[in-house]
Structure 1
């Protein structure tokens, strides 16, 4: 399956076929997918995801993200031009989830429990890209600009490892289309779908809805501020 085959408005589910990811390529045992429309530009949405300090305000599934190893200095220079104005100044980006940063998520898989599962990850991609889509009923293709972030489990454990890709694609109306897919590998990768599919799906739904609400609230606040200033 290709990322462009994920339909817009896809509730969290497992795809019929796995999707290749930047680090691990093709293969794997399963891929979790989801998508939605967000009334906020790609850069606004991605800026929310990259800033661990914002997670308590919108991350019910993952209310805490702790940066353990900052990204290398070179990563600051690699921040996509379209994203840079939406982040802190270059000298203040040490706390962001840029390429090469290692961090830990407190994941609340059980929504009825206060305990959290610690998941350690590393940012593998932060880039601009062009999404090419085939028009329905024709041989024509449209090209849309987007921003992408990917992270993988730290250490590439043999038993289960995963990489998640999140893409924010311009919709031509000031908002974006949000696509997320995570492919699981390793000899125990299949157990994710078998044993925690329901919990994972609910967590991803909360992530998607929380991110959407936060990004759209930022746009609304900026619009109000601009109106008052005028």
Structure 2
């Protein structure tokens, strides 16, 4: 894994390591960003994080909790898509917090134990390409002593799964399935 360390809103000076991916998508940026914000439908397209639960949010739309800054999320993460579902390839990650949400970017942060042990923040950014399509960029930067272990054990796998997520998003958005 040779990605440069990239800062995030909560880790402005960068951390120990970053995993990142991107995709050029032949769909309007607002369509792709709407897919990213529709966490209930990640199961339809996201092979890396097929399940997101909003467990707490400062915003509700009458039908349920809404993704917003300060919302708390739980994820089901699939680390090995080629292996049938098992304890070893699916991990539940609880207590992620949305740290940034604007018209083209959403970020969430997680801690392992405490922020002194490990913090990771993921950024998902959608940029209009000026020609009717967009560029999707995502990265997650890790810091803290336990980040060394995560990098050693999962670094290459995380990098591959981030690219899988970008490719999944591209396929889903371009297929028009979400409409």
TM range (shorter): 0.7 to 0.9
Q: 1:152 aligns with which of 109, 126, 145?
A: 109
Aligned residues: 173
Task: Say whether the 8 Å CA contact 2:49–2:78 is kept in structure 1.
Answer: yes
Task: Say whether the 8 Å CA contact 1:51–1:95 is kept in structure 2.
Answer: no
Higher normalized helix content (fraction of residues): 1
Tell me if 1:125 matches 2:100: yes
The TM-score, its normalising length taken from structure 1, stands at 0.68
Higher normalized strand content (fraction of residues): 2
The unaligned stretches of length 5 or more in structure 2 are none
Change (3 A) 1:183 1:47: same
SS of 2:15's equivalent?
coil
Tell me if 1:114 matches 2:114: no
The TM-score, its normalising length taken from structure 2, stands at 0.86
Give the root-mean-square deviation of aligned CA atoms: 2.2
Give the corresponding residue for 1:173: 131
Task: Say whether the 8 Å CA contact 1:52–1:95 is kept in structure 2.
Answer: no
Task: Say whether the 8 Å CA contact 1:19–1:183 is kept in structure 2.
Answer: yes
SS of 1:96's equivalent?
coil
Deviation at 1:101, TM superposition (A): 1.2
Q: 1:197 aligns with which of 122, 136, 155?
A: 155
Deviation at 1:192, TM superposition (A): 2.3
Q: 2:3 aligns with which of 9, 15, 33?
A: 15
